[in-house]
Amino acid sequence: MSDSIKLGSVALDCPHAGALAAFYAEITGGKVTYLDEDWARVQGPGGRIDFQTAPGYVPPRWPDPASSMQAHLDFDVDDADAAEARVLAAGATKFDFQPGAQFRVYADPAGHPFCLCTADVTGQA
């Protein structure tokens, strides 16, 4: 036995787990590998994302200092324009406020912010 800890996935609350899983499968080239009324899973090339149906879900507002973003996903892309076209066609919306040239910030169909990133801004490889 080992005491190692490894991230298995990120889970997002949303109004309809299956619908949001389909969106993320489409934009990442992943596959919905589990689906029921309350839970869905996408296995993508960069890892796994899970989705939980949450009655009464209220999306975060961004940018709004009075509203917690809760969490957001960053996706590394080589071609920001091509990736933007792909996520918009899948149902994302682009926020009016954009924080800088290396990020483009969108909302998924349930309102979760996510970023398309063209450079590693942390300085880590």
Give the list of residues 6+ apart from residue 6 with CB closer than 8 angstroms, or none: none
- Residue 112 domain-assigned (yes or no): yes
CATH of the domain at 103: 3.10.180.10
Q: What is the tens place of the pLDDT at every residue in 11-28?
A: 999 999 999 999 999 999
Strand partners of residue 72: none
Q: What is the tens place of the pLDDT at every residue in 43-73?
A: 999 899 999 999 999 898 888 777 776 778 9
- Does pLDDT of 107 surpass 50? yes
Whole-number pLDDT of residue 5? 73
Single pTM value for the model? 0.84
Whole-number pLDDT of residue 125? 43
- Residue 67 domain-assigned (yes or no): yes
3-state SS, residue 23: helix
Based on the structure, what is the number of domains in the chain? Answer: 1
How far apart are the C-alpha atoms of 111 and 93, rounded to whole Å? 9
Domain with 26, as residue range(s), is 10-117
